[in-house]
C-alpha cells in the first residue's frame, strides 16, 4: 500500500513531464475517479495520509499513462463539468469548454426580458452542453437542440436521459433544421465549428481527440459553417429575437462585419470571455 499523496505526487511529476497543463489537478481527478470519490473528498484523504489499496494502483497507473499520452482528462473520467452539470463525454463528441459558459450567461440575460415560456434553439449542440444548461437554469424555457454527428448525438441523448432535463434533441443539419419552428424562436444559441482550415490546434487533446467536424468551420476563414448556421437562425427567430454565437478569438471583428453585411441583423456586437478575449457575437433579428 502506498499513500494517496505519494501516488498523486508521482503522477503529477509524470504529467508535468508530458506537458499536461494542470498536472496536479489532473492527477487528483484521476485518483478520485479510480477510488469512486469526489475530488474534495480525495483532498481530505491526501491531508489525512490515507493509503491506497494495491488493487487500485494498476487502474491508476493505466489512466495516468493515458493522460501522459494526452488523452483528454474528460475522456478518462467520462465526465465534463459545464455550468452546474456533469455531462457524459468520450470519443466522438466535443468536450465542452469553460469559455462557452459566457454564452450561457448572455443567453440568460436575454431570457430575463423574453416572454414567459421562451423558445430556445441550440444549433450544433454536441454533448448538449448549452441546451441542457439553459434548460436547467431557465426552467420555463422550451429548449430544442440539433446535432449533425450520430456519435455526438448519442452522447447528447445520454446526457438528456442522464440529467432528466426537458430538451427536444434532434439529429440533423443545423442549417436546415427545425422547419416546425420557423419564425417562432426567441433565442438561438450556437457554438459551431469555427477553426479556420490550416490552423491546426496545438494541444493534442484537441487536435487528436475532438472530432474534426466539431472543429473546422470551413471556408478560407473558418466562418462558412458559422455563417450558414446564422442564416438558419435568422429564419428561425421571431422579429427582435436574439442570436448568440461563439467564435474564435481572432474572428470577433469578421463575424460582426459579416453578420451586418447580410442585412438580417441589427445591434450586432461582440462580447469577451472570462479571459478578456473576443468570444461571442450577439445580434438581434432585424
Ligand X SMILES: C[S@@+](CC[C@H](N)C(=O)[O-])C[C@H]1O[C@@H](n2cnc3c(N)ncnc32)[C@H](O)[C@@H]1O
- Read off the DSSP letter of residue 195: B
CB of 82 to ligand X, least distance (A): 7
CB of 99 to ligand X, least distance (A): 9
> Element (H or E) spanning 211, and its range?
none
- By CB under 6 A, residue 134 contacts ligand X: no
Please say if 191 is a catalytic residue.
yes
- By CB under 6 A, residue 11 contacts ligand X: no
* Closest residue by beta carbon to ligand X: 126
* Candidate list 94, 118, 159, 193, residue with the active-site label: 94
d(CA 178, CA 189): 14
d(CA 97, CA 81): 9
Task: Answer left, alpha or beta for residue 149, where phi above 0 means left and psi between -120 and 50 means alpha.
Answer: beta
Binding string, 90-129, against ligand X, x = CB under 6 A? ----x-x---x-----------------------xxxx-x
> What residues does 143 pair with on adjacent strands?
120, 167
All residues at 6 or more sequence positions from 25 whose CB lies less than 8 Å from its CB, including other chains = none
d(CA 224, CA 285): 20
* Candidate list 72, 82, 96, 191, residue with the active-site label: 191
Write out the three cell numbers for 193: 465549428
Count Cα neighbours of 173 within 13 Å in the Cβ-side half-sphere. Answer: 6
CB of 247 to ligand X, least distance (A): 10
- Read off the DSSP letter of residue 216: B
Residue list 202-221, contact with ligand X (CB under 6 A):
211, 213-214
Please say if 192 is a catalytic residue.
yes
> What residues does 47 pair with on adjacent strands?
none
Please say if 82 is a catalytic residue.
no
- By CB under 6 A, residue 281 contacts ligand X: no
Residue list 217-256, contact with ligand X (CB under 6 A):
225
Among 23, 90, 118, 192, binds ligand X (CB under 6 A): 192
Q: What angle do CA 259, 265, 271 make, to 5 degrees?
A: 65
CB of 195 to ligand X, least distance (A): 9
- By CB under 6 A, residue 278 contacts ligand X: no
CB of 253 to ligand X, least distance (A): 20
Task: Give residues in contact with ligand X (CB under 6 A).
Answer: 94, 96, 100, 124-127, 129-130, 146-149, 152, 173-175, 191-193, 211, 213-214, 225
Amino acid at each position: 500500500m502506498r499513500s494517496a499523496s505519494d501516488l498523486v505526487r508521482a503522477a503529477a511529476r509524470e504529467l508535468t513531464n508530458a506537458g499536461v497543463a494542470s498536472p496536479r489537478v489532473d492527477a487528483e481527478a484521476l485518483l478520485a475517479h479510480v477510488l469512486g470519490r469526489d475530488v474534495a473528498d480525495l483532498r481530505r484523504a491526501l491531508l489525512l495520509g490515507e493509503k491506497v489499496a494495491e488493487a487500485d494502483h494498476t487502474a491508476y497507473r493505466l489512466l495516468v499513462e493515458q493522460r501522459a499520452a494526452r488523452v483528454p482528462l474528460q475522456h478518462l473520467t467520462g465526465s465534463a463539468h459545464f455550468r452546474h452539470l456533469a455531462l457524459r463525454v468520450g470519443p466522438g463528441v466535443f468536450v465542452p469548454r469553460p469559455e462557452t459558459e459566457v454564452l450561457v450567461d448572455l443567453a440568460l440575460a436575454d431570457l430575463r426580458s423574453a416572454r414567459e415560456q421562451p423558445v430556445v434553439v441550440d444549433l450544433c449542440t454536441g454533448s448538449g452542453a448549452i441546451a441542457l444548461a439553459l434548460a436547467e437554469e431557465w426552467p420555463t424555457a422550451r429548449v430544442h437542440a440539433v446535432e449533425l454527428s450520430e456519435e455526438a448525438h448519442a452522447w447528447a441523448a445520454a446526457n438528456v436521459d442522464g440529467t432528466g432535463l426537458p430538451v427536444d434533441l434532434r439529429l440533423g443539419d443545423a442549417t436546415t433544421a427545425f422547419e416546425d419552428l420557423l419564425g417562432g424562436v426567441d433565442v438561438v444559441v450556437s457554438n459551431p465549428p469555427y477553426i479556420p482550415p490550416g490552423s491546426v490546434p496545438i494541444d493534442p487533446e484537441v487536435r487528436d481527440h475532438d472530432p474534426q467536424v466539431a472543429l473546422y468551420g470551413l471556408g478560407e476563414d473558418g466562418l462558412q459553417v458559422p455563417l450558414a448556421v446564422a442564416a438558419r437562425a435568422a429564419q428561425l427567430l421571431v422579429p427582435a429575437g436574439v442570436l448568440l454565437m461563439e467564435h474564435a478569438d481572432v474572428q470577433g471583428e469578421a463575424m460582426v462585419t459579416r453578420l451586418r453585411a447580410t442585412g438580417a441583423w441589427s445591434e450586432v456586437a461582440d462580447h469577451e470571455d472570462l479571459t478578456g478575449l473576443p468570444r461571442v457575437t450577439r445580434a438581434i433579428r432585424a
